[in-house]
Amino acid sequence: MNYTKIKSVFALLTISATLLVSCNKSEESTVVTDTPVETEVVTPEVVKEDTIKITLNSNDKMQYDLSEIDVYEGQTVVLTLNHTGTMPKDAMGHNFVLLKKDTDMAKFGEEAAKFQKEGYMPTDQSNIIAHTNLIGGGESDTVTFMAPEKGTYDFLCSFPGHYSVMKGKFNVK
């Protein structure tokens, strides 16, 4: 095989190229070293699951146990929020609210605080991608939604005052 042919094989094939590289390593090592870019091409694509399950725990100390959540674009996200404490939701209620990009978290938090009867969930949900219900100690709630487009989003607990610490980044890759 001449150099040009081998190069085109590398460019077109991924898995076969890996085999070629390992077979030809000794006799044609110059080809391998001349084309370092190909090593990126032969990396197999990570298999992404269609559905990702996420467990987010919260407690009586006004804390989530995750500050970052990573998912892939287009995945179905099944997120379960647990409240591992014992305090009632009137005093230490928690939820998970995922905001659309560029939503001002402080403004959203102020607005949500006005909706006590609705579990601190504003009637206008135009800034919300997904949310769980408000839960108290010992309770859980699960929300299922499609991961939005690639980017970084904010999530928070909308119980008054909680978002100053109960917040995190939802990364869609």
Strand partners, 168: 155
- Selected from 21, 81, 156, 157, the binder of Cu ion by CB under 5 A is 157
Rounded least distance, CB 158 to Cu ion, Å: 8
64 scored as a contact of Cu ion (CB under 5 A):
no
Q: For residue 93, what is the DSSP state?
A: -
**Token pair for residue 52?**
């990702």
Between 153 and 159, whose beta carbon lies closer to Cu ion?
159
162 scored as a contact of Cu ion (CB under 5 A):
yes
Q: Amino acid letter at 150?
A: K
- Distance CA(1)–CA(15), nearest Å, equals 19
- Distance CA(96)–CA(90), nearest Å, equals 16
Rounded least distance, CB 166 to Cu ion, Å: 5
8 A C-beta contact, residue 153 and residue 129 = yes
159 scored as a contact of Cu ion (CB under 5 A):
yes
Residues 76-105 that bind Cu ion (CB under 5 A): 94
108 scored as a contact of Cu ion (CB under 5 A):
no
Q: What residues make contact with Cu ion under the rule CB under 5 A?
A: 94, 157, 159, 162, 166
